[in-house]
Amino acid sequence: MDELEELKRRKLAELLRRASEPRRELPMGPVELDSSSFWKFVRENRVAVVDFWAEWCMPCRIVAPVIEELSRKYAGRVAFGKLNVDESPEIAAQLQIMAIPTLVLFIDGKPVDRLTGAYPKPAIERWISRYV
């Protein structure tokens, strides 16, 4: 019985220590990404959705407010980023982005799924909710 009590005491101390550590908050709203910040962003966030877009792309402009809204709704669970493919073509090439808008969902820094085209909010939300 003493051994069990000691294990409980240690586990409680560990939980209290973790609870008092500062927690890194996920951003509220999509984060503007570039070649220097992209990989760090997807690795630091367990679940991340990145919107690959360009200024001249009209479908991208349709998707942008949806991403903004979903980033607030899923704050704390999913991090959202935006990467302009004209400004960071090497990242788009590495991930074989052939059309925009393209949303890529990353889990633990690895791309697991993508959605290409200007989908309505319910479709994008269903897509994200499969992973959250």
Q: For residue 84, what is the domain's CATH number?
A: 3.40.30.10
28 beta partners: none
Output the pLDDT for position 12.
79
**pLDDT digit string, tens, across residues 104-119:** 999 999 999 999 999 9
Q: Check: CB of residue 41 under 8 Å from CB of residue 81.
A: yes
Distance of alpha carbon 50 from alpha carbon 41, whole angstroms: 10
Would you call 5 a catalytic residue per the annotation?
no
User: 107 lies in a domain?
Assistant: yes
Residue 53: active-site member: no
In-domain check, residue 58 = yes
- Tokens 């669970």: give the residue: 77
Please report the pLDDT score of residue 21 as a whole number.
Answer: 58
Domain range for 83: 26-129
Query: Mind listing the pLDDT tens digit for each residue in 15-71?
Result: 777 666 555 555 568 999 999 999 999 999 999 999 999 999 999 999 999 999 999
* From 31, 42, 48, 57, active-site residue: 57
The pLDDT, as a whole number, for residue 48 is 97
User: Is the residue at 19 inside a domain?
Assistant: no
Token pair belonging to 21 = 């550590």
Task: Retrieve residue 96's tokens.
Answer: 């074989």
pLDDT for 26: 54
Dig out the tokens for 27 from the structure: 């951003």
Q: Please tell me the pTM assigned to this model.
A: 0.79
72-100: string of b/e by CB count within 10 Å (b at 16+)?
eebeeebbbbbbbbeebeebbeebebeeb
Give the pLDDT of residue 29. 82
Total number of domains constituting the chain: 1
Selected catalytic residue, list 26, 33, 60, 115 = 60
